[in-house]
Amino acid sequence: MKYAIDILTAEREKIVNKLKNQDADRNKNLANLKSIDKALKWLNMLEKNSIEDAGQFDFFQLPFKENCFASYRIMCDNESESIQDLEDENIELFPDDIILKRK
């Protein structure tokens, strides 16, 4: 992934230099710069979290419920059916949050 990040970083530098020189395609260059910045943020996040193969993951968006103040909580069930054995992992999620799940 480092290779792709390096290529995009070099391309980003070229676009920034074009923008400094008041290139005629300013709007196109700005759009390309935004696109590269977005891609670099994703690639850096994936690299930081050692996520090598996107095909190994699914994204799930948490739905809105009737109560707009509701939240989701991550719990550990400690391999027990008893509600007393549940441990709150102190991670609170909200509707529209996205969960990345390994397949």
Distance CA 30, CA 25 (A): 9
Residue position matching structure tokens 């995009």: 8
Helices (H), the chain: 2-20, 26-48
Asked if 36 and 12 touch (Cβ cutoff 8 Å), the reply is: yes
Residue 67 pLDDT > 70, yes or no?
A: no
pLDDT at 89 over 70: yes
pLDDT tens sequence across 30-63: 999 999 999 999 999 989 988 888 888 999 999 8
> Helix, strand, or coil here: 103?
coil
Residues 6+ apart with CB under 8 A from 7: none
Q: What pLDDT sits at residue 88?
A: 84
CA atoms lying within 13 Å on the CB side of residue 40: 15
* 55 DSSP assignment: G
